[in-house]
Chains A and B, each alone.
Chain A
Amino acid sequence: MKKSIEVTVNGKSQSVEVDTRMVLADMLRENLRLTGTHIGCGTGSCGACTVMLDGRTVKSCSVLAADADGRSVQTVEGLSTSAVSLHPVQEAMVENQGLQCGYCTPGMVLSAVELLNKNPDPTEDEIRHGIAGNLCRCTGYHFVVTSIQAAAKSMKEGA
């Protein structure tokens, strides 16, 4: 069954025709070609598909695209304006080696952005809690956590 929806993605209003079976992650990736949103498990466990829905992180493999009608979505592509001006969290990941293969990274970045939006000065434990919904198999999370610590510092200094 097809359905037409109106959805704002990265600030831009879009009309999209979706199959009702389609999850938000697939709509972003296949219809809108925003392939920075990755699918790692399809069952809401790994967090690679994390996007912001109406300003909060969700796992977009577990949201029907049709259900995003009238909503606002922000993906990793919406965080930066160009290759040289990434979001401070992304810059911190780049500088502190907070990634390896990069598959979990967009979701991890969005979780970190949400965390720092709510809590600009998190403890190590709060950071670990904040990214507990994002599995990473490469980094052991060490440099992810230090990257988020660095991002918190630079965002405070920048603010």
Chain B
Amino acid sequence: MKHIGRAQTSLTNRQLAAGKGVFVSDIQRHDMTHMAVVRSPHASARIVSIDSAAAEAIPGVVKVVTGQEIKANMNPIFEAYDTEAMGAKGVVSYALCPERVRYVGEAVAAVVAEDKYTARKAADLVAVEYETTPIVSNTKAALEPGSPLVEPDWGDNILITRDFVKGDPDKAFADAEMTSSDEVYQHRYTGAALEPRAYMAEYDPYTEQLTYWASTQNPHPVRVFLAETLGIEESSIRVIQPHVGGGFGLKTPTFQEEPLVAYLARSLERPVKFVSERTEDLLVGGHAREMRLSYDVAFTKDGRITGFRAKVVADVGAPSALCGWGMSFVCAYSIPGCYKIENANVKLFSVVTNKCPWNAYRGYGKETASYLMDRVLDDVAAKTGRDRAEVRLKNFIPPDEFPYTQVSGANLDSGNYPGTLKRVLEMIDYEGFPARQEEARREGRYIGLGIGQELTPEGCSMPRSTLLGGYDGATVRVNPSGQVTVLTGITSPGNGNETAIAQIAADSLGVPFDQIKVIQGDTDICPYGLGNYSSRSVIMGGSAVQIAAKDIRDKMLKVAAKMLEVSADEVEVEEGQFSAKGAPARYVLFKDVASTVYRDCHGVAALEVEPGLESTRYFQHGNVYHQPETQGRFSAYPSWPNQSMAMIIEIDPETGHFDILKYCAVHDSGTVVNPLLAEANLHGGFLQGVGGAAHEHLVYDDDCQLLTTTFMDYTCPTAMEVPFFEVEHQETLSPFTPLGTKGVGESGVAGALSGLCSAIENALPHLDLRFTDLPLSPNAVWNAIHEAEEKRT
């Protein structure tokens, strides 16, 4: 293997660095119109009437559309999950709300105009009369008897519950040497990709084809969802994904505007473009994370956990067709993570409120599970007076016990958790840190070291879901000149997986890297596939490429053998050359073999093979179990990468402000196809982890009005808030992928959550701090320090 494992810069770098990428908002079409959305100012209300006369009177307005028209002409938005198969409650929602609104920003009408200024101005003139209805503003209120209901026909505000049990937790607690309990809170935040959502549709009435450009991660599923929601044939839609300016899960379908743009383009027979403003994206572009987790833990005096109970209460916002609510499920499903606990109970309550619906966001609930477990392990360490690392090492699932079935039924494929933790502690000089800390203290500085341990299951496959499936497809095509085109169902929202795909294809076929061209993101060209999420691109898409490439390689080996006058098993291929094993001077060029197949199909060498050098194959991931078991258990994730992180911070106790001085990580996602891009992905994860832990927060008031609707209030970290990152890879192969790969894309977002809590605690040991609420804003940290100081005096 020459290319797998090689650090290779991304194939898209040059075009993008030159500013020559093409994003949806860059595309202009002849006779194009612009759509602006009228959004609800209320979190819960009935729509009494809509008066669009003033808007329609503005020159340049093409059409005003309301929810009544949508309901009469379109189906409800097709759900990303099959909620019935999940045992969850589903919701009927439309591209525009016909009768009622359930969160601020929900779309109630839209204006199409000749230019975007007119569209926006007219949208502001659409007069909607509302009758406000009671608001469900948080999970506590939502769960109270007699609470108003977000969905009146549900009977309660609970979307899904789960109750996972392993062993005998009651007995474990009855027999416990020591116990502790606490509650931790993970606040609401989001991915905030720098490119806001954007969609454009164009309809050709002569061919009855709809062309749809989307800033999406999932072109083929988008096509299904559009067809189902519009009630038209899937084959009449072509979805094209141009460059995507970051996704992080938030650009998985289906938002209200997606089918709306398609509907309007069809009914107007003119191109319709929608580009979201940042404020709209923060308001309705998908939220994530808000969960409260309580736990009881039983353990021995030396820190071995013998029993565990956790309860996850998630505020998933209003229910929608999006797949976001599943993050609450996956959080509960992933607990207790890396740890072997024989007696455990994990309960889940996914609660709906009148806030923005969740959409998938990097981490998908696993980060909150990791955050919880890190806080639990730090608690056990503190209560037993043991070292934090020692307690983790004592409770890790041992490397020789994989595959390991976790409490939820999740089947962990492989792992070496002590390996990553021990190595990261070496990198950060864990042993030497107390001396360093002491020295800093003498200079009047307070530094602290934190540990974050991540387990990030990948390759999500949910039963009967159109979006979340454990397979993907690829086509490998060698043209008569010997160059290779690879077409995939997976896509790259800017993370470089096309480059890893090319590396896999080059090695699998035995051709030079620069002979591979990868095409993604076009439903008329690429094989069916589910796109990008759950770090599936290399494990699913890369594996499909490998299988398809093997078909071609086997066929070409036969032809090359004839040309070399040896038997096929005596031929090998590398870097564009077929040669007889052990006799490299006896070779034929890859391109000559390709030429022979295409140009000489009745000749001696190619006579016995089927003409053409093209194969489309699908990879189905092993280690997924959808057969129902008791308690609704099933195994939805085949691949379980993990990471240990350690960081050093310096805190200013007078202000609560901290700086990150050092950030180390050892990541294990099995075989690393491209260490450079894997590391680049991790860097982005670290940033979003730090952002989530300390800086980013979607704040609602009691009326469920979002207060953080600009980047002035929703404060993303800049280059000043993070240091250089030090990353190493450990490779514990997955037994379930041909190359031993696991996913990489979501790793890194969790470690900072508890890691920074424990680093601050560690910096000020005399205060006996314990952080259980995020984010770690200077104000919040100062409050904790101040309270502890008051207590001491």
Indicate, yes or no, whether A interacts with B: yes
User: Contact at B21–A102, with CB atoms within 8 Å?
Assistant: yes
A33 to B28 Cα, complex, angstroms: 9
Q: In whole Å, how far is A61's beta carbon from the nearest beta carbon of chain B?
A: 10
User: Contact at B194–A46, with CB atoms within 8 Å?
Assistant: yes
B243 at the interface (CB under 8 A from A): yes
**Interface secondary structure of A, over-half rule:** loop
User: Contact at A132–B720, with CB atoms within 8 Å?
Assistant: yes
User: Contact at B719–A29, with CB atoms within 8 Å?
Assistant: no
User: Contacts A128-B719, A145-B719 known; A100 to B680 CB distance under 8 Å?
Assistant: yes
A91 to B245 Cα, complex, angstroms: 20
A43 to B19 Cα, complex, angstroms: 21
List which A26-67 residues lie within 8 A (CB) of chain B: 29-30, 33, 35-43, 45-46, 48
Interface size on B, residues (CB 8 A): 57
B18 at the interface (CB under 8 A from A): yes
User: Contacts A100-B495, A142-B724 known; A42 to B17 CB distance under 8 Å?
Assistant: no
Residue from the list B9, B196, B493 in contact with A101, Cβ < 8 A: B493
User: Contact at B18–A100, with CB atoms within 8 Å?
Assistant: no
List which B15-31 residues lie within 8 A (CB) of chain A: 15-23, 25-26, 28
Interface segment, one of B35-43, B298-306, B337-345, B709-717 = B709-717
Q: In whole Å, how far is B759's beta carbon from the nearest beta carbon of chain A?
A: 18
A134 to B720 Cα, complex, angstroms: 11
User: Contact at B676–A76, with CB atoms within 8 Å?
Assistant: no
Q: Which residues of chain A come closer than 8 Å to B176, judged between CB atoms? A: none
B688 at the interface (CB under 8 A from A): yes
A140 at the interface (CB under 8 A from B): yes
List which A127-157 residues lie within 8 A (CB) of chain B: 127-129, 131-145
- Residue-by-residue, is B358-391 near A (CB-CB < 8 Å gives 1, otherwise 0)? 0000000000000000000000000000000000
A132 to B194 Cα, complex, angstroms: 15
User: Contact at A145–B9, with CB atoms within 8 Å?
Assistant: no
A80 at the interface (CB under 8 A from B): yes
List which B178-213 residues lie within 8 A (CB) of chain A: 191-196
B246 at the interface (CB under 8 A from A): yes
Q: Which residues of chain B come closer than 8 Å to A132, judged between CB atoms? A: 718-720
A90 to B21 Cα, complex, angstroms: 14
A77 to B26 Cα, complex, angstroms: 14
A129 to B720 Cα, complex, angstroms: 7
User: Contact at A137–B243, with CB atoms within 8 Å?
Assistant: no
List which A97-137 residues lie within 8 A (CB) of chain B: 97-106, 109, 124, 127-129, 131-137
B725 at the interface (CB under 8 A from A): yes
B10 at the interface (CB under 8 A from A): yes
User: Contact at A137–B192, with CB atoms within 8 Å?
Assistant: yes
Q: Which residues of chain A come closer than 8 Å to B710, judged between CB atoms? A: 41, 43, 45
Q: Which residues of chain A come closer than 8 Å to B244, judged between CB atoms? A: 101
Q: In whole Å, how far is B33's beta carbon from the nearest beta carbon of chain A?
A: 14
A3 at the interface (CB under 8 A from B): no
Q: Which residues of chain B come closer than 8 Å to A134, judged between CB atoms? A: 718-719
**Interface secondary structure of B, over-half rule:** loop
A145 to B724 Cα, complex, angstroms: 9
Residue from the list A93, A135, A140 in contact with B686, Cβ < 8 A: A140
Q: In whole Å, how far is A59's beta carbon from the nearest beta carbon of chain B?
A: 11
User: Contact at A90–B278, with CB atoms within 8 Å?
Assistant: no
User: Contacts A29-B26, A48-B194, A137-B684 known; A42 to B277 CB distance under 8 Å?
Assistant: yes
Residue from the list B12, B19, B495 in contact with A106, Cβ < 8 A: B19
A18 to B494 Cα, complex, angstroms: 33
Q: Which residues of chain A come closer than 8 Å to B17, judged between CB atoms? A: 86, 90-91, 93-94, 98-99, 102, 105, 109
Q: In whole Å, how far is B449's beta carbon from the nearest beta carbon of chain A?
A: 20
User: Contact at B495–A101, with CB atoms within 8 Å?
Assistant: yes
For chain A, which range describes its interface: under 10, 10 to 19, 20 to 34, or 35 or more residues? 35 or more
B496 at the interface (CB under 8 A from A): yes
Most chain A CB inside 10 Å of its own CB: which residue of B676, B680, B716? B680
A99 to B494 Cα, complex, angstroms: 9
User: Contact at B676–A99, with CB atoms within 8 Å?
Assistant: no
Q: In whole Å, how far is A10's beta carbon from the nearest beta carbon of chain B?
A: 11
Q: In chain B, what residue has the closest Cβ to A144?
A: B719
Q: Which residues of chain B come closer than 8 Å to A19, judged between CB atoms? A: 117
User: Contact at A100–B194, with CB atoms within 8 Å?
Assistant: no
Residue from the list A37, A91, A138 in contact with B19, Cβ < 8 A: A37
A97 to B7 Cα, complex, angstroms: 10
A159 at the interface (CB under 8 A from B): no
Most chain B CB inside 10 Å of its own CB: which residue of A29, A97, A133? A97
User: Contact at B278–A42, with CB atoms within 8 Å?
Assistant: yes
Q: Which residues of chain B come closer than 8 Å to A75, judged between CB atoms? A: 19
User: Contact at A135–B677, with CB atoms within 8 Å?
Assistant: no
B722 at the interface (CB under 8 A from A): yes
Q: In chain A, what residue has the closest Cβ to B246?
A: A101
B687 at the interface (CB under 8 A from A): yes
User: Contact at B16–A102, with CB atoms within 8 Å?
Assistant: yes
Q: Which residues of chain B come closer than 8 Å to A90, judged between CB atoms? A: 17-18
Q: In whole Å, how far is A152's beta carbon from the nearest beta carbon of chain B?
A: 15
Q: In whole Å, how far is A18's beta carbon from the nearest beta carbon of chain B?
A: 11
User: Contact at B680–A143, with CB atoms within 8 Å?
Assistant: yes
User: Contacts A37-B19, A83-B18 known; A135 to B711 CB distance under 8 Å?
Assistant: yes
B248 at the interface (CB under 8 A from A): yes
User: Contact at A103–B194, with CB atoms within 8 Å?
Assistant: yes
User: Contact at B117–A141, with CB atoms within 8 Å?
Assistant: no
User: Contacts A42-B277, A94-B17, A132-B718 known; A102 to B243 CB distance under 8 Å?
Assistant: yes
Q: Which residues of chain B come closer than 8 Å to A77, judged between CB atoms? A: 18-19
B683 at the interface (CB under 8 A from A): yes
Residue from the list B14, B193, B245 in contact with A94, Cβ < 8 A: B14
Q: In chain B, what residue has the closest Cβ to A147?
A: B17
Q: In chain B, what residue has the closest Cβ to A94?
A: B13
User: Contact at B278–A43, with CB atoms within 8 Å?
Assistant: yes
A59 to B773 Cα, complex, angstroms: 36
A71 at the interface (CB under 8 A from B): no
A92 to B13 Cα, complex, angstroms: 10
Q: Which residues of chain A come closer than 8 Å to B278, judged between CB atoms? A: 40-43, 46
A95 at the interface (CB under 8 A from B): yes
A-B contact sample (6 more), CB < 8 A, given A42-B278, A128-B718, A139-B687: A40-B194, A83-B15, A90-B18, A101-B244, A140-B684, A144-B719
User: 14 A-B pairs, CB-CB below 8 angstroms?
Assistant: A35-B22, A36-B19, A36-B20, A38-B25, A38-B245, A40-B195, A42-B278, A45-B710, A45-B712, A86-B18, A100-B495, A100-B681, A136-B719, A142-B724
Residues of A within 8 A of B (CB): 19, 21-22, 29-30, 33, 35-43, 45-46, 48, 75-77, 80, 83, 86, 90-91, 93-106, 109, 124, 127-129, 131-145
Ranked 6 nearest A-B pairs via Cβ: A36-B19, A101-B494, A102-B16, A103-B245, A140-B683, A76-B19
